[in-house]
Amino acid sequence: MTDVPFTALAILSSIFFMRCIRRFGYLDLSIACVLAMAAALCRQLGLVIPLAFTVALLVQRGVSIRALAQAIFPLMVCMIALMLFQQWMSITGRTPSLYGTFWDTDSLSIRIIGSRIDTALLYLGLFCLPMLLLGSGKPRLNTNLAILRVLPALSAGLFALVSIIFAFNMLRAWMPISKNITFPQGLGPLTFGSQEPLPWPFWVIVTGLSLVGGVLLVRGIVASSMVLLQKLRISDLRDEDIIQIFCLTAVGAYALPIMWGGFFDRLPASVGTLPSLFECRWATARGRLSNDAENRVSSSYYLRRSVCRPRHERFSDAAPGRLGGVGRTSANCWRQRA
């Protein structure tokens, strides 16, 4: 299997893409391209890494010719390399019989796709449970709408209810659900030389841990997505937020083909390391929003006014109110200083 080399190459390429997000450099971009190309040649899903970088860099820098060229270059390199590799295999007769084909596409339905999503979240939550427990506190969403405040908790509760009813059949079934590398005998039972199933209390504990991890994962994804959308609306995105967008995009793009073609329990392990690697925990959103962002803008506004205005008028203003004139005053201030 290619899980180990693919995971290693994806992690290494993501490290250098992260360096480009924090401080863009062509050396880091070149190394990231080579590693991402190797990951894509190892497994086609490696294309999600440069795709996530494209989205993250465009969000960070905006849509311009220069930013678009820098953002799309790694993705184009990886796609061209993969197409040339596939063409070479086809010409030389080295293409495997099942290469490039989807599986289990005849029985697709909303219930089957929903079951795959639920199972993937359970396994990903189980793999990411240590970092979910050790991660920082949940993001704060400043809003007056009560439904938005409780939406992450409601989503997590709904996920737990659906998992108990459908995935675990009202707790009459336990982990493992998808038997690809995890079996009742353990992880790869043939390698241990024993065919006896592990005691049922062990799988009860694993089931509980997967449910807890899935709940924390769903709550974190929903909360972080809401916080990022609010920060994007007020243009208050930092480098850490861009890395979160990179991570969320990579995981989401990685999951789409799996939901369509079929799920194996070993597949989430390839992306389960991304949140901890980037210090981009699902429950992380540094800095408060809305009110704090407006306070920062207001403080910056009055600081610039105090610098630009005469000394006897610098501290004669009352407390800041509405921010309607911030843009015009700031522009006039910088023109005066120039």
Give the CA dihedral 35, 2, 81, 280, nearest 10 degrees: -40
Provide the β-strand partners of residue 186. 183
Which tokens hold the place of 185? Answer: 């005998």
Q: Please identify which residue in the block is written with the tokens 């920062």.
A: 296
Per-residue pLDDT at 30: 94
Its pTM stands at 0.73
Q: What pLDDT digit, counting tens, does each position of 126-170 carry?
A: 888 888 887 655 666 666 677 778 888 899 999 999 888 888 877
Average pLDDT over residues 78-93: 92
Least confident piece of the model among 191-195, 249-253, 317-321: 317-321
Q: Please identify which residue in the block is written with the tokens 């809003």.
A: 143
Domain extents in the chain? 1-101, 108-289, 291-337
- The answer for residues whose C-beta is within 8 angstroms of residue 101's C-beta and 6 or more apart is none
State the amino acid at position 187 in one-letter form: L
Q: 183: phi > 0 → left, psi -120 to 50 → alpha, else beta; which?
A: beta
Asked if residue 199 has a cis previous peptide bond (ω within 30° of 0), the answer is: no
Q: Which residue has the higher pLDDT, 34 or 272?
A: 34
- The answer for residues whose C-beta is within 8 angstroms of residue 263's C-beta and 6 or more apart is 116, 119, 120, 178
How many angstroms from the chain centroid is the CA of residue 177? 24
Quote the Cα angle for 161-162-166, to 5°. Answer: 125
Per-residue pLDDT at 59: 93
What rounded mean pLDDT belongs to the chain?
Answer: 75
